[in-house]
Each structure stands twice: as C-alpha cells, then as structure tokens.
Amino acid sequence: MTEAPTDIPPVARPVRRLPAWIIGLAFIALIAFLAVLGFELKSIQQGPILRGQQVPAIVLNTFEGTVVNTTDLKGKVVVLNFWASWCVPCEGEAPALESAWNAYKPEGQVVFLGVDYVDTEPEARAFLSKYDITYPNGPDLGTKISQMFRITGVPETYFLDREGKLAYSQIGPFSTEDEIKAIIDPLLK
Amino acid sequence: MRSATLKIAFLLAFALGWLYATPVSAQQPTPSDNQVNAVAHELYCPVCENIPLDVCSTQACAQWRDLIRQKLAAGWSTQKIDDYFAAQYGERVLAVPPLQRSFNQLLPGLIGAGILAGVGLVFWTLRGSLRSVFVKTPESTPPPPPPTVDAELLDRVEKDLRQRT
C-alpha cells in the first residue's frame, strides 16, 4: 500500500457562486409560492360548519335592496334557507316556511332568511311572488354563503341558535310547518 | 280651407307614425342561439359537474342561457357577461378563471423572461472560458524567446548519432 503524498499542495479551484441577490430573490419566490399553495390547500380542505360551531358573519343583500348581517341578529334564532326557483322540492316547502315565519314573526325572536342559490333574478322574484314569501330573501352573491356551509344542493336549511352557533341542519325539504317548529322551539327555551 | 285641414291631418298622422316607428328601429336584434351558445360555452353549469352551459339541459342552465340572451340583446360584451356571472355565481362557473386568464396573458412575458434568465445564467457560468476566447493578448507583449542550445552540446549529440549509425 502506498501512502498518498502529503507534500503536494491541494489544487485551488475557483469557487463560483451566484450573487446573493439572485439567491435571495429565488428564496422569496419559493416562499411566496409555498404560501399561496398552503393557503389554497387550507381553503380546499376546510370542511363544513359542524353543529355547535360558531357560524361566521353572513351578509345577505336582499332583493328589496337592504343588507342583513347575522352579527346584528345575536340573541335571535336564525333560520337560513337555501333555495332556487328551478328547484322543485323548494316549491313544496315554501308554504311551510312562510307559515312558520308568520307564526314567529310577532315575537321577533326568530329571523328567517332566504338565500337564493345560483338563480336568475326575474325567476327568483316570480317564485317569491308566487308563494307570497315575506321574509327577507337575497341572492347568494359569488356563492359565498353556500360555500361556507358546503351545501350539497337545494333545499337545505340551517338553524343558528341565539349565540350564532349552528344548532341544526336540514338537508332536503320540509313537508310541514310543524317540522320546522319542532326544531325552532327548543332553541327558544 | 278643407284641403289645408287635410294636409295638417296628414302631417300629424305621418309624424305620429314616425314617432312609433323610431323605437322599433332602435331596438337591438335578438341574439341567435349560436351567439348565446358561444358565450354559454365559456361558462359551466351551476348545479352539475363539468358540463358547459351550452350543452346542459337542466332548468337552471336554460334560465342562465335566457339571461345571456337578455344581456346580449342589451348590448353587453362577452367579457362583461362573464364578469357578471363570476360576480353573481362565483368564479367557478367560468371555463377559464381570471387567475388562469391573467397567467395566460402573462405567459409570453414569463417565457421571454425565463429565456433571458437562462441565457444570463449560461453566460455567467461560462464567463471565465469566454473571457479567454474573446479577450485578445495585448500587442505590446513580446513573443517568447527561442530556446537557446549550447553549441558544444549540439556537437556532442551529432557525433553520438553518427557513431550509432
């Protein structure tokens, strides 16, 4: 075995490095890309609002031109009904919802809100007129409200308790006014 | 006198007829199905998965196509209709979302910038080699001197070679 010569000086190779500003810029671009990716992933993986969870503020621009914000309705039970004029089951439950609204309206402890899901305004107005709906209704602009609840279709109805937490969700139509009252009454106690 | 009355009545009738006719001529022509479908093709059904609006048969789609027809009749551009639908129903109804549209518009610039950056990086990496190729030796530098050979040594070598042959 021969020993490696120790007296030979190491060959000095010129080290080439990218300028610091290019490295910095690349890092910033990488971090920005990862941040955007993370934000998108978070919003995609965000699940529906579960029972007992606080419901974020909902802003509904009604067909009458008023703005309803659920943060102003603290202390009241809120019934949020998603519907559309092209939805046949929505036609079936519309009279029951209107009757229930009329029953609770005098006490002022329950607020009904109709959220018109991906609908056209003339047809929506015709629907409201046909079923004499008198509680506030408005379009789901940008489908922001329906995305918040991750609705799977219409009709769907969500009940918020006095603290603004989700108390109950109904997937599908109501058949009678009593079904609606059976959910609201315990929330008023 | 009677003929003058007749003339005035005729003029009045003509003026009234013109007034009624004018709004008709100012109306926009009803957009054809092809025009509506061209816009609808760029939008997606709101309640079904991955079906363009122009081939969707649900009632919601039919209502949306009617809405497109109304907007076209009102003189709206395709872009304005797309923007309206995105604001009303969310960007997911657009076949090409605004972010992707912006990216598509930026793509030629990004490709150009990428090529420039690549060329710059290659140039930066090879700059040592390029310098030796392109940088000329200054003219004032004297040529290296020819090797000197000792005359005595040369004689000895020649003699040695002769002896061997």
- Kindly identify which residue of chain A lies nearest to residue B87, measuring between CA atoms: A142
Which of A14, A118, A143 shows the shortest C-beta gap to B60?
A118
Confidence of residue B111 (pLDDT cuts 50, 70, 90): confident
A121 and A29 assigned to the same domain: no
* Domain ranges within chain B, ordered by starting residue: 29-100
A86 and A115 assigned to the same domain: yes
Q: Cβ of A53 under 8 Å from any chain B Cβ?
A: no
Contact A139 B67 (CB under 8 A): no
Which of A120, A142, A143 shows the shortest C-beta gap to B64?
A120
Residue A180's CATH number = 3.40.30.10
Note the pTM of the prediction, 2 decimals: 0.66
Which of B60, B66, B128 shows the shortest C-beta gap to A84?
B60
Q: How far is residue A111's CA from residue B59's CA, in Å, rounded to a whole number?
A: 30
Give residue B149's identity as a one-letter amino acid code.
V
Contact A86 B125 (CB under 8 A): no
Looking at the domain assignment, is residue A83 inside a domain?
yes
Looking at the domain assignment, is residue A54 inside a domain?
no
Contact A119 B59 (CB under 8 A): no
Confidence of residue A3 (pLDDT cuts 50, 70, 90): low
Which of B59, B67, B87 shows the shortest C-beta gap to A142?
B87
Q: What percent of chain B has pLDDT over 70?
A: 70
Task: Go through chain A and tell me how many residues it has.
Answer: 189
> Considering only CB atoms, which chain A residues are within 8 Å of B90?
142-144, 147
A90 and A176 assigned to the same domain: yes
pLDDT digits (tens, 9 = 90+) for B5-63: 667 666 666 665 554 554 444 455 689 999 999 999 999 998 888 899 999 999 999 99
Q: How far is residue A136's CA from residue A63's CA, in Å, rounded to a whole number?
A: 8
Look at residue B141 in the predicted model and tell me its pLDDT. Answer: 66
Judged against a pLDDT cut of 60, whether residue B124 lies above it is answered with: yes
A69 and A157 assigned to the same domain: yes
Which of B90, B124, B128 shows the shortest C-beta gap to A143?
B90
Buried b (16+ CB within 10 A) or exposed e, B57-71: eeebbebbbebbbeb
Q: How far is residue B73's CA from residue B68's CA, in Å, rounded to a whole number?
A: 8
Contact B66 A120 (CB under 8 A): yes
Query: Per-residue pLDDT averaged across B126-152, rounded?
Result: 70
pLDDT digits (tens, 9 = 90+) for A115-128: 999 999 999 999 99
pLDDT digits (tens, 9 = 90+) for A41-69: 887 777 789 999 999 999 999 999 999 99
Mean of pLDDT over chain B: 80
Contact B63 A147 (CB under 8 A): no
Cis peptide before A155 (omega within 30 of 0): yes
A66 and A138 assigned to the same domain: yes
- Residue that the structure tokens 């108390």 belong to: A167
Look at residue B23 in the predicted model and tell me its pLDDT. Answer: 47
Looking at the domain assignment, is residue A66 inside a domain?
yes
Contact A118 B125 (CB under 8 A): no
Looking at the domain assignment, is residue A3 inside a domain?
no
A35 and A65 assigned to the same domain: no
Q: Who has greater pLDDT, A21 or A130? A: A130
At A60, is the secondary structure helix, strand, or coil? strand
At A110, is the secondary structure helix, strand, or coil? strand
What domain range includes position A85?
Answer: 59-188
A82 and A126 assigned to the same domain: yes
Look at residue B94 in the predicted model and tell me its pLDDT. Answer: 93
Query: Per-residue pLDDT averaged across A155-171, rounded?
Result: 97
At A87, is the secondary structure helix, strand, or coil? coil
Look at residue B6 in the predicted model and tell me its pLDDT. Answer: 63
Look at residue B3 in the predicted model and tell me its pLDDT. Answer: 65
Mutate to test the interface with A, among B45, B66, B85, B89 (most CBs of A within 10 A): B89
Look at residue A99 in the predicted model and tell me its pLDDT. Answer: 98
pLDDT digits (tens, 9 = 90+) for A87-143: 999 999 999 999 999 999 999 999 999 999 999 999 999 999 999 999 999 999 999
Taking a C-beta distance cutoff of 8 angstroms, is the pair B46, B94 a contact? no
Taking a C-beta distance cutoff of 8 angstroms, is the pair A154, A117 a contact? yes
In degrees and rounded to multiples of 5, residue A11 shows phi and psi of -75, 120
Q: What percent of chain A has pLDDT over 70?
A: 92
Look at residue B26 in the predicted model and tell me its pLDDT. Answer: 46
Query: Per-residue pLDDT averaged across B135-155, rounded?
Result: 73
A32 and A79 assigned to the same domain: no
A29 and A69 assigned to the same domain: no
Nearest chain A CA: its distance from B81 CA (Å) = 13
Name residues whose C-beta falls within 8 Å of residue A187's C-beta, 6 or more positions apart in sequence: A77, A159, A161, A162, A167, A168
Judged against a pLDDT cut of 80, whether residue A12 lies above it is answered with: no
Q: Which of A1-10, B17-26, B115-124 has the highest mean pLDDT?
A: B115-124
What's the token pair of residue B82?
A: 């797309």
Query: Per-residue pLDDT averaged across B65-93, rounded?
Result: 94
Q: Cβ of A123 under 8 Å from any chain B Cβ?
A: yes
- DSSP of B68-115, one letter per residue? HHHHHHTT--HHHHHHHHHHHH-GGGBSS-HHHHHHHHHHHHHHHHHH
B33-40 helix and B78-89 helix, angle to the nearest 10 degrees: 50
ipTM of the complex: 0.71
Assign domain B29-100 to its CATH superfamily.
Cytochrome C biogenesis protein (1.10.8.640)
A42 and A73 assigned to the same domain: no
Pairing of strands A110-116, A77-83: parallel
Of A13, A142, A87, A97, give the one whose Cα is nearest residue B92: A142
Number of domains making up chain A? 2
